[in-house]
Chains A and B, each alone.
Chain A
Amino acid sequence: MASFRFLHAADIHLDSPLRGLHGQEGSAAQRIRGATREAFGRLIDAALEHRVDFLIIAGDLYDGDWRDYRTGLFFAAQMGRLQAAGIAVFLVRGNHDAQSQITRSLALPENVRVFDARAAESLRLDALDVVLHGQSFKQREVRDNLVPGYPPAEAARFNIGVLHTGLGGLGGHENYAPCSLQDLKAKGYDYWALGHVHQYQILSRHPHVVFPGNLQGRHIRETGAKGAVLVSVADGAVTDVTLQPCDVVRWNRVSVSVEGAAGRAEVVERIRVGLERVSRTEADGRLLACRVELRGRTPWHDPLVADADGLLAEARAAALGLGVDAAWIERVVVATQAERGADTLAARDDALGALQQMLDQAAADPELLAQLAEDPGQMLRHLPHPVRVDVDPDSLLQAALDEDPAALIAGVRPFLASRLRAEDD
């Protein structure tokens, strides 16, 4: 059998915007806005650079509710680049593509071959002795196991299964086209090119069962390097599987200890040092989108909590100081602890201690609950739906939206106490 190389990508979500970022300007803003498109361009560049024999896209090329046809035209243009280089493309449609209006009428170059949605089919590359088996999603919610319908492995060929699957609800993703690892292994293929799970993982090596993850992280839950998998095959056996990073903006959580910091300036400096470290070790020349998490016990807890907004501004300024387009801070989470905890404060029998004790019982006071329902309740009722459905589950806003007064009060307490205890001007 011939030796060859191919790229395996999935979950490209072309032109899907990054979420949770705002406030950036200039070239950083442009990089963030065009990240998924530029990442896809990098994928095509990688295919040309490594002179791969073919490219597999295992579903979710577009977002399901994305309607702009230009995205499809861009995709077609990129496929044209591959066609000029003689590189074939094999594509299954996933849950997002199935309902995409773009895919229905877009004419693609001849090198792109899309697997049928009615039944699994086999597409062959005779020159390489390769056969690819795959089936596209007919509609968004495919709840059947598609693997049994895949053709049996063909002898004397390198068999690749292309499938968009939740594989039993892996990683919290919707369990579409459910199947088990055993189902896949039992099929007798040499390589399973999967899609749908956004985290790169090799589930098995004999045969290879691989999720390449998505091409570009789109929010803080999709951290680390993102890209496609470069697979080398020699004499019918996989010899190498390497992740080729294609991401433009890389998400990262930066944990910064502020224990022993001499003041707010040093806290900001530690943030800068943390960002610099991560930028040096993790960014690989990309723009970092970071969530900074401050931790540790510190006497500066109160000022930090009381003026988290000012801290965010200073941290962003520090990030800008690292260089053009080095890093952008999504949020600063102040998870520090005061030198004396709330228990100690509540145990004191002064007015502030009394305040803490009263707050312990606040969630049961109907008068207070009515006040909170009035305001900020009124604002919450005005909040647009897209904001309401995409809120950090641990956030104060989520507690307020859930109308959970105990959680709301618990979340506000540290802030209030800090504002009261913070140094007077």
Chain B
Amino acid sequence: MRLRRLELLRYGHFTDRSVEFPAPTARAGNGDGPGDLHIVFGPNEAGKSTALMAIEDLLFGIPTQSSLNFTHDYKAMRLGAVIEDTVIEDHRASLAFRRRKGLKDTLLGPDDLPHPQGQGALQPFLADADRAFYERMFSLDHRRLERGGREILDARDEIGQMLFSASAGIAGLPQRLATLEQEADDLWGARRASRRRYTQAMDRLETTEKALRERTLTAAQWEESRDAYAASKATCAALETEFEHLDAEVRRLDRIRRVYRHVQAKADLAARLQALGTVIPLPEGAREALQAAERRVFEATTRCDTLSQQLQRVRAERAALVGDAVLRQRAEEVESLHERRIEVRQKKGDLPRRLSELEAAERQLRGLRNELGWASANPEALCADIPTRTQLALVRSLLGERGEWAAAVTTARTSLAEATAGQLRLERQWATRPALRDPAHLAAVVQSVRALGDVEGQQATAKAELKVQRARIARLQASLMPAVASIEALLESPVPSRGEVQGHRDRVQDRDGRERELRREAELAQAALSQARRELERAGGAIDEDTAAQLQQARRQRDALWAQVKRWHRLRSVSPSVPESAAHTAAQPAAVVRSGAQANPHAEAVPGSARDVTDPRADRELGMPAGFDEDPITAFEPALLAADRIADRRFEQAEVLGRLAELARRIEDQDQVLAQVRRQQQQLQQEAAAWQVQWQALWQAAPFEPLSPEAMLEWLELRGQVAQAVQAQDEAAARLETHQSQVHQAREVLLDELAAHGIARSERASDALVVLLERAAAVLQDCEAARREQVQAEGALQEAKDDGDRRRRELERAEAAWAGWQARWRQALDTLKLQPDTEPEAVARQVDTLDAMRDLASGIQTLRHDRIEKIQADIADFERVVADFVKQVAADLADQPAEAAILEIERRLDEAQRVHALQQEREVQMQALEVEIATLHGSGEAARQVIEQLRRTARVDDLEALRAAVERSRQWHDVQAQWAATLQTLEQEGDGLPLAELERDCTQTDLDQNAARLETLDQQRRDSRQRRDAAVEARSRARTAFEALGGDEAAADLAAARQEALAELREVAERYVRVRSAAVLLRWAIDRFRRERQAPLLERAGAIFATLTRGGFTALRVEYDDKDQPHLHGLRGDGGLVPVPGLSTGTADQLYLALRVASIEDYLERAPALPFVADDLFINFDDERSAAGLDVLAQLAQKTQVLFFTHHRHLIDIARARWGPGVHVQHLAD
């Protein structure tokens, strides 16, 4: 396949760009020429990369995430091309198509509609290539070239990898192989390493298995733990009992030891109570109460005396203090005057400065008055003469508008002049325009002819269709069997309908099917019959011929002998005997019969039995000869056995016999089946004969003998196709005639119309209809263009007139506005008392002066009234108020200045306030002393009452007697308290035992012996406690251990963890098998590829390498080292060998290119060609090497199309120098 044209319709920044790749001329393809090499030159930004991408997108579809939608959006993106196949017998198959972006129906026809065959239309050209394959095999850029060269150097002596990588166009093969092996090594290795996943998983497995073993609780372990717990409980219970016993005894002895002293003390207290005799019990603490009361009486008396003296001294000090009460009452007024005094002093300081400011302002106002030339000397009058702010603002506004109105008038006048001139120019042009011709008729003619469509094409199509149908009819006629002389005879001869023939065929097929079935049934029946007969034969041979008659006969003989035995037995005179021969032959009844023919010497000697035995009829029935007279007893037993044996055998053979009977029935059935089948076959043969007659009758009118129904159905089908072809031929002929007529009429009409527009018929008489139509369309376009120009000129002229009128109106408006302004100006000047002719600039200055005067006048007013006069009023008011106040509170200061008087009054007020504070302090002291003296009086009285109360209670007369009574009461209380305490102690220490029991225990106990016993028991108890505690601890441990065994799921968790480790191991193993096997397979395949392809590839690559290196190297050689390892070398012109690792980087690139080109050539030997796209391969090549590179591409271009994209202009020069202008160059930037 080659690309004839690439259309970048809407793709990247391209719009409707077409790149042609014409087929090579014979000269170009003669081996020395450039062949099918095309250089596509695109400087930077010209879109070289876009065009490269377009080729793959065109052939294999635009990717979903294409980045080339920056100008045309995804829906609009279009590529197009014309591709063609190799030349075969002067016919080059080609395909014009477009490609849009999408998911389906992306292959379009030239009309932008989905191609009927879809992507399948491209398949014959692409030869099963897909994008990846194409990119890998038929595309090479500078980056991949460099990488290939680098890999060659890196691969060193790995020729296999080098060849395979270059042949397949796979970049990074060594890395891929290394990656595979690294992945495998990360998973597993012969040596255990913790970084490997297999090792990690194996470690986990081992760990979990070990833990599982440890954490698995067996039934025996559980029972052992349970038993241990039970034993520890029993031990613990026994020790606890022992301990409790010891503990009770120790506690008893210890109790006696504790209470013994208290029991004795109780007895002592009872004796002391008795000794005290009768006592009047006073309240507890009576002694302390009495002593305290006596002390309080004494202290109260002493203190009262001291305090009375202090009170008298303070009263005297208070009476000596005197102050100015009047002034102290008016203290607030003094404070107010103090603040006003400070304020007035500040204002007096400001007054001279304000007076000088007033004078300066009045001086400045007078200066401005002089500028205006006003006469007023009085500042008040001057202020009244200054115009108002409104008047000045009006003048300022008018000054601002003046320029605007004057400029508007000037502009409007200029615009009007320009519009008038333009209108005159257009009017002159209009007057000189030529007359126009009406194109309406011509347009109608062109439209009607276009409406016919591609009538010439249709005419050609109809002609081709006619030709095709004729050829088809001839072909169909030739293939008719039986043949028919002519088409007319074929179509006119009556033939049976297709349904009739199909019906006949179906019947025949049905009959044939039935016949086959019958034949099969017959064969089956015959086979079954044969089988049954064979089985019968085998089964029949397997049994003895013991018939029922034989059995019956044996039984008769047995019964007869039995009768004789019975008879002989009844007689008892003669021992029954049977000759040995008879017994011997009894097993063979038939033989017995025959041997029994010998004379029996005893037969006649048995009376009464001779008739039975010798009865010839009976003998015959028994099978015995007449005169049989043997010993019946001897003969009976064999006869009995013989009869039983026959019966047994018949019983045993009953199944076989049954089977024989069954086989016989089967044979009979199969015979019947076979006969039935044969009858049906005969019927079918008769039916066949009848249908053959009917078949012949169906075709009686036909001019031939009918063949089989299948053949005749085919014949009918062909006949139908012939009829269709004849009809199509007639239709094509009719269409052809119609189209010819339409073409003629259209031509005539067009020629007439062209003549009407000044084109002579003779000039166009030989043109095709489509040419005439295009010419008429061109004339029509000219007419319409002229018409459009005329309409535009009319519009422009009218627009110019309208513009002139509009500008005139604008001038009038501007002049009116200017006059209005002037009137208002004059009025404003009058208001300011200025002359009407005063220049606007002078007016502006005077307005500014007036504004300044107003501001000054306003300042003077404020200074005078609001500042100076106000200060003076405040000072006067202060002095008046002070004078009044002094007169009321300090008349002695009336002659002092106000400020000095106030200062003195302030000092006097401070003194009055200090005296008043001292008076208050003394009064508080006096009150406190009076209260304290009263309190002491009360306290002494209360103490006396306490003493009196105690005396009455003790029933004594004086204080001394009271003191003795109080002491006896205290002792009584003391004994009572000890008594209660002793009882309480006994209760506490007696472990709840009754007092009597405690006293009894103490009475019966020797305290010394008790101590010794207690010590012994306590030691025993400590020992017991230790043993008990140890047992409790052991029981606790056993219980903990046993309870810990309960249903936790540690082992289950570990089992699950073990399964996880196994699953991971399984996954790692599977992954390892995949990756390692892939690496092994790839290495094996690469080596095998090297062995199989090395020789031809290296030979051709060597030649290309020689071209690329300009003879620096002449060939490639494989040399083997001592270890039989192959190494690739370059052969220099002088015969020297350079190993691949010794090549320079650039030469390695050339070697890679040589191998790639050799591989592609090798591939093209066996596969259809595809365009090879090379993208700026020679960036790092000098001119000489670039020329060599182009030579190599030209060699490849002898076998397939080569598209060489570059942005280096000098490569074009090199190509042209090499092949002249014959080399095809496309410029993307054009």
Name A's B-contacting residues (CB within 8 A). Answer: 15-23, 32-34, 36-37, 66-74, 76-77, 101-102, 104-106, 260, 262-263, 309, 331, 339-340, 344, 347-352, 354-355, 358-359, 362, 365, 367-368, 371-372, 375-376, 378-380, 383-384, 386-387, 390-391, 395-397, 400, 408-409, 411-413, 415-416, 419-421, 424-425
- Beyond contacts A384-B202, A425-B172: 20 other A-B pairs, Cβ-Cβ < 8 A, are A17-B1059, A33-B1052, A34-B1049, A71-B1051, A73-B1047, A74-B1047, A262-B64, A262-B65, A309-B1071, A376-B188, A376-B1076, A376-B1077, A379-B1076, A387-B1062, A390-B1066, A395-B1070, A397-B1073, A412-B1073, A419-B1078, A420-B1082
Determine the distance from Cα of A67 to Cα of B213 in the docked complex, in whole angstroms: 10
B1078–A68 contact, CB under 8 A? Answer: no
Determine the distance from Cα of A409 to Cα of B1053 in the docked complex, in whole angstroms: 38
Q: What 4 A-B pairs are tightest by C-beta distance, nearest first?
A: A74-B1047, A351-B168, A33-B1056, A351-B167
Contact bitstring B1069-1109, A, C-beta under 8 A = 1, else 0: 11111101110111011001100110000000000000000
B128–A344 contact, CB under 8 A? Answer: yes
Contacts known (A106-B219, A358-B1089, A397-B1070); A33 close to B1053, Cβ less than 8 A: yes
Closest residue to A104 on the B side, CB-wise?
A: B219
CB distance from B191 to the nearest CB of A (A): 11
CB distance from B664 to the nearest CB of A (A): 35
14 A-B residue pairings within 8 Å (CB atoms): A15-B1051, A21-B1063, A68-B215, A350-B137, A350-B169, A352-B170, A362-B1085, A379-B198, A379-B1069, A379-B1072, A397-B1070, A408-B1073, A419-B1078, A421-B132
The answer, among B64, B1047, B1065, B1067, for a CB contact under 8 Å with A70, is: B1047
CB distance from A199 to the nearest CB of B (A): 22
- On chain B, the residues within 8 Å of A71 by CB distance are 1047, 1051-1052
Closest residue to B1055 on the A side, CB-wise?
A: A17
CB distance from B752 to the nearest CB of A (A): 60
CB distance from A312 to the nearest CB of B (A): 9
A380–B1049 contact, CB under 8 A? Answer: no
B1045–A70 contact, CB under 8 A? Answer: yes
A387–B1066 contact, CB under 8 A? Answer: yes
B1065–A384 contact, CB under 8 A? Answer: yes
B1049–A74 contact, CB under 8 A? Answer: yes
Tell me whether B903 is interfacial, beta carbon within 8 Å: no
B172–A424 contact, CB under 8 A? Answer: yes
Which listed segment binds A: B306-314, B432-440, B1159-1167? B1159-1167
CB distance from B241 to the nearest CB of A (A): 30
Tell me whether B103 is interfacial, beta carbon within 8 Å: yes
B205–A376 contact, CB under 8 A? Answer: no
CB distance from B891 to the nearest CB of A (A): 103
A32–B1056 contact, CB under 8 A? Answer: yes
The answer, among B103, B188, B1060, B1081, for a CB contact under 8 Å with A379, is: B188
- On chain A, the residues within 8 Å of B1080 by CB distance are 368, 371-372, 375-376
A22–B1073 contact, CB under 8 A? Answer: no
CB distance from A385 to the nearest CB of B (A): 10
Contacts known (A67-B218, A348-B133, A400-B1073); A23 close to B1066, Cβ less than 8 A: no
A77–B1056 contact, CB under 8 A? Answer: no
- On chain A, the residues within 8 Å of B1163 by CB distance are 349-350
- On chain B, the residues within 8 Å of A362 by CB distance are 1081, 1084-1085
Determine the distance from Cα of A358 to Cα of B1076 in the docked complex, in whole angstroms: 18
Please provide the chain B residues from 142 to 178 with a CB less than 8 Å away from any CB of chain A in the complex.
164, 167-173, 176
CB distance from A420 to the nearest CB of B (A): 6
A339–B1063 contact, CB under 8 A? Answer: no
- On chain B, the residues within 8 Å of A104 by CB distance are 219
- On chain A, the residues within 8 Å of B1082 by CB distance are 416, 420
Tell me whether B1058 is interfacial, beta carbon within 8 Å: yes
Tell me whether B1048 is interfacial, beta carbon within 8 Å: yes
The answer, among A37, A77, A396, for a CB contact under 8 Å with B1070, is: A396
B1055–A349 contact, CB under 8 A? Answer: no
Tell me whether B1064 is interfacial, beta carbon within 8 Å: yes
The answer, among B171, B1046, B1078, for a CB contact under 8 Å with A73, is: B1046
The answer, among A102, A348, A368, for a CB contact under 8 Å with B219, is: A102
Tell me whether B823 is interfacial, beta carbon within 8 Å: no
Please provide the chain B residues from 636 to 684 with a CB less than 8 Å away from any CB of chain A in the complex.
none
Tell me whether B401 is interfacial, beta carbon within 8 Å: no
B216–A68 contact, CB under 8 A? Answer: yes
Determine the distance from Cα of A32 to Cα of B1058 in the docked complex, in whole angstroms: 13
Tell me whether B881 is interfacial, beta carbon within 8 Å: no
The answer, among B1046, B1056, B1074, B1089, for a CB contact under 8 Å with A412, is: B1074
Determine the distance from Cα of A263 to Cα of B65 in the docked complex, in whole angstroms: 10
Tell me whether B828 is interfacial, beta carbon within 8 Å: no
Contact bitstring B177-220, A, C-beta under 8 A = 1, else 0: 00010000000101000000010001001000000000111110
A17–B1058 contact, CB under 8 A? Answer: yes
B190–A378 contact, CB under 8 A? Answer: yes
B1159–A375 contact, CB under 8 A? Answer: no
- On chain A, the residues within 8 Å of B132 by CB distance are 421
Tell me whether B62 is interfacial, beta carbon within 8 Å: no
Determine the distance from Cα of A413 to Cα of B65 in the docked complex, in whole angstroms: 30
Determine the distance from Cα of A349 to Cα of B881 in the docked complex, in whole angstroms: 131
Determine the distance from Cα of A409 to Cα of B1046 in the docked complex, in whole angstroms: 52
Determine the distance from Cα of A354 to Cα of B1046 in the docked complex, in whole angstroms: 67
Size of interface on B: residues with Cβ below 8 Å to A: 75
Tell me whether B141 is interfacial, beta carbon within 8 Å: no
CB distance from B1086 to the nearest CB of A (A): 8
Closest residue to A417 on the B side, CB-wise?
A: B1078
Contact bitstring B400-412, A, C-beta under 8 A = 1, else 0: 0000000000000
Determine the distance from Cα of A66 to Cα of B221 in the docked complex, in whole angstroms: 15
B1069–A415 contact, CB under 8 A? Answer: no
CB distance from A383 to the nearest CB of B (A): 6
A37–B1052 contact, CB under 8 A? Answer: yes
Contacts known (A22-B1060, A34-B1053); A368 close to B216, Cβ less than 8 A: no
Determine the distance from Cα of A372 to Cα of B1074 in the docked complex, in whole angstroms: 11
- On chain A, the residues within 8 Å of B1063 by CB distance are 19-22
- On chain A, the residues within 8 Å of B1069 by CB distance are 379-380, 383, 387, 397
- On chain B, the residues within 8 Å of A72 by CB distance are 219
CB distance from B420 to the nearest CB of A (A): 70
Determine the distance from Cα of A16 to Cα of B1049 in the docked complex, in whole angstroms: 11
Closest residue to A309 on the B side, CB-wise?
A: B1071
Determine the distance from Cα of A370 to Cα of B575 in the docked complex, in whole angstroms: 96
A411–B1056 contact, CB under 8 A? Answer: no
Contact bitstring B1144-1187, A, C-beta under 8 A = 1, else 0: 00000000000000010001001100000000000000000000
- On chain B, the residues within 8 Å of A18 by CB distance are 1056, 1059
B1059–A355 contact, CB under 8 A? Answer: no
- On chain A, the residues within 8 Å of B188 by CB distance are 376, 379
Tell me whether B222 is interfacial, beta carbon within 8 Å: yes
Closest residue to A386 on the B side, CB-wise?
A: B1062
A412–B223 contact, CB under 8 A? Answer: no
A22–B1047 contact, CB under 8 A? Answer: no
Closest residue to B131 on the A side, CB-wise?
A: A299
B1089–A355 contact, CB under 8 A? Answer: yes
B1093–A354 contact, CB under 8 A? Answer: yes
Tell me whether B1061 is interfacial, beta carbon within 8 Å: yes
- On chain A, the residues within 8 Å of B1047 by CB distance are 70-71, 73-74, 76-77
Interface centre among A76, A262, A419 (most CB of B within 10 A): A419
B176–A420 contact, CB under 8 A? Answer: yes
A348–B128 contact, CB under 8 A? Answer: yes
- On chain B, the residues within 8 Å of A263 by CB distance are 64-65
Closest residue to A38 on the B side, CB-wise?
A: B1049
CB distance from B1081 to the nearest CB of A (A): 6
B1061–A396 contact, CB under 8 A? Answer: no
CB distance from B10 to the nearest CB of A (A): 22
The answer, among A19, A70, A349, A358, for a CB contact under 8 Å with B1085, is: A358
- On chain B, the residues within 8 Å of A386 by CB distance are 1062
B1064–A368 contact, CB under 8 A? Answer: no
Closest residue to B1053 on the A side, CB-wise?
A: A33
- On chain A, the residues within 8 Å of B167 by CB distance are 350-351
Determine the distance from Cα of A424 to Cα of B221 in the docked complex, in whole angstroms: 62
